[in-house]
């Protein structure tokens, strides 16, 4: 690691010097102010020297004093340049919730806007990640198409990586391909899937609880949250055994519908929820409304579709970073525009033209003969 000290009148000037000399991969080790100057100690990894392979194990590295990377400093600087209301309005939070969070954040008086928002979120919401062994089997519930099966597979893969035994159970026997999808994931993880088609069968499947450290994940089919009949069926599964129902909801859901869904599932005994598909959403109001109106606890978020990325735990600071990181819109001007209806019609006429109107070039001596052929 190569160390260097930079001095400038302002923090921004010093950071610019670091970026110019050491690049974006530089990390900040220490900052101080002395005689009106800002002094920053920065470092960058030096290229590895070409030496003969070591025959003995290298010594364990000393703990790094690194505080923050330049990229993190840039992100925080961008947050400081905006009002928190800008970020919360971008996500479409209801006015009552937005004003409550802004009032709390302004009252926190933390060293940065990001930390003030994190403190406000921490005072309003609860966070309990769904990682490691659970006291009860986890029954994943939610509307159709929110990613319950993928969430079950992600949680299973995370547990296996942490050497926690996993059992998968599926009640999704009516939806075409529902069970097959979970079995496909289970094959890759080398674990079996128990299929049950009724609440009684689920109760039987959960009886042999021989390992307290075992994580049992139950995937359910999508139940319509606005159908009393389907909610009654779901309630039978929830009460069939001593399970914890965990709501799975898509991050891009309409906030008003998210409120109704959260309140409905809270009435069924749900107390934690997992938000999925953050990678294909740009507005997270549904997350906030689900936690606020249903009184539900954040249990994790699915940010990518890949199993290896799992369900990421969430705390107040992580949530504040999600709310204050607004990606740029993709530029699509370079893509070829689809032809208009008139252009398509013109192309078809052009293709048919030689068949209906032979030219003299086709048969210069006798055009009529060409038509008869």
Query: Which of 262, 291, 314 is where one domain is finished?
Result: 314
Q: Is residue 287 within 8 Å of residue 300, measured between CB atoms?
A: no
Half-sphere exposure of 303 (CA within 13 A, CB side): 9
Q: Specify the pLDDT at position 359.
A: 56
* In a domain? residue 359: no
Q: Is residue 307 within 8 Å of residue 154, measured between CB atoms?
A: yes
Total number of domains in the chain = 2
Over the Cα atoms of the chain, what is R_g?
Answer: 29
Beta strands in the chain (DSSP E): 2-8, 27-34, 37-44, 68-69, 138-141, 166-170, 193-195, 215-219, 244-250, 272-276, 297-301
On the question of pLDDT at 365 being above 60, the answer is no
Dihedral, CA of residue 213, residue 217, residue 218 and residue 222, to nearest 10 = 150
* In a domain? residue 224: yes
Q: Specify the pLDDT at position 343.
A: 72
Q: Specify the pLDDT at position 239.
A: 94
* In a domain? residue 205: yes
* In a domain? residue 78: no
Are residues 285 and 138 both part of a single domain? yes
CA distance 30 to 231: 57
pTM of the model: 0.70
* Lowest-pLDDT choice from 152-156, 196-200, 357-361: 357-361
pLDDT band at 51 (very low <50, low <70, confident <90, very high): very low
Are residues 299 and 179 both part of a single domain? yes
What percentage of the chain reaches a pLDDT higher than 90?
43
Are residues 179 and 293 both part of a single domain? yes
* In a domain? residue 93: no
Are residues 132 and 39 both part of a single domain? no
Over residues 209-237, the mean pLDDT reads: 87
Range of the domain at 274: 128-314
Q: Where is pLDDT greater, at 118 or 13?
A: 118
Q: Where is mean pLDDT largest: 132-136, 175-179, 276-280?
A: 276-280
Q: Where is mean pLDDT largest: 178-192, 201-215, 322-336?
A: 178-192
* In a domain? residue 27: yes
Over residues 50-56, the mean pLDDT reads: 47
Q: Specify the pLDDT at position 53.
A: 47
Q: Where is pLDDT greater, at 166 or 52?
A: 166
pLDDT band at 232 (very low <50, low <70, confident <90, very high): very high
């Amino acid at each position: 690691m190569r160390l260097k000290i930079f001095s400038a009148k302002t923090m921004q000037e010093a950071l610019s010097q670091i970026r110019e000399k050491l690049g974006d991969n530089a990390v900040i080790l220490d900052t101080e102010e002395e005689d009106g100057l800002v002094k920053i100690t920065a470092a960058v990894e030096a290229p590895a020297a070409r030496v003969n392979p070591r025959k003995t194990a290298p010594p364990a590295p000393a703990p790094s004093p690194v505080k923050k990377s330049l990229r993190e400093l840039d992100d925080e600087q961008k947050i400081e340049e905006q009002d928190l209301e800008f970020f919360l309005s971008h996500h479409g939070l209801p006015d009552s919730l937005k004003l409550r969070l802004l009032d709390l954040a302004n009252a926190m008086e933390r060293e940065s806007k990001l930390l003030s928002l994190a403190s406000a979120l921490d005072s309003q919401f609860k966070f309990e990640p769904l990682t490691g062994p659970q006291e009860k089997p986890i029954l994943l519930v939610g509307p159709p198409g929110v990613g319950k099966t993928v969430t079950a597979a992600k949680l299973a893969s995370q547990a296996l990586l942490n050497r926690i035994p996993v059992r998968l159970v599926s009640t999704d026997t009516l939806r075409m391909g529902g069970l097959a999808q979970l079995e496909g994931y289970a094959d890759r993880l080398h674990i079996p899937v128990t299929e049950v088609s009724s609440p009684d069968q689920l109760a039987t499947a959960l009886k042999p609880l021989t390992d307290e450290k075992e994580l049992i994940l139950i995937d359910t089919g999508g139940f319509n949250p606005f159908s009393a009949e389907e909610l009654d069926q779901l309630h039978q599964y929830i009460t069939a055994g001593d399970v914890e129902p965990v709501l799975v909801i898509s991050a891009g859901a309409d906030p008003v519908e998210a409120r109704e869904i959260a309140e409905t599932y809270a009435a069924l005994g749900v107390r934690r929820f997992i938000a999925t598909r953050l990678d294909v959403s740009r507005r997270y109001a549904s997350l906030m409304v689900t936690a606020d109106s249903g009184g539900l606890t954040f249990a994790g978020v699915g940010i990518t579709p890949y199993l290896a990325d799992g369900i990421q735990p969430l705390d107040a600071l992580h949530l504040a970073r999600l709310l204050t990181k607004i990606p740029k819109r993709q530029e699509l001007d370079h893509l070829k525009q689809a032809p208009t209806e008139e252009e398509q019609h013109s192309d078809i006429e052009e293709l048919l033209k030689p068949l209906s109107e032979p030219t003299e070039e086709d048969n210069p001596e006798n055009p009529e003969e060409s038509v008869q052929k």
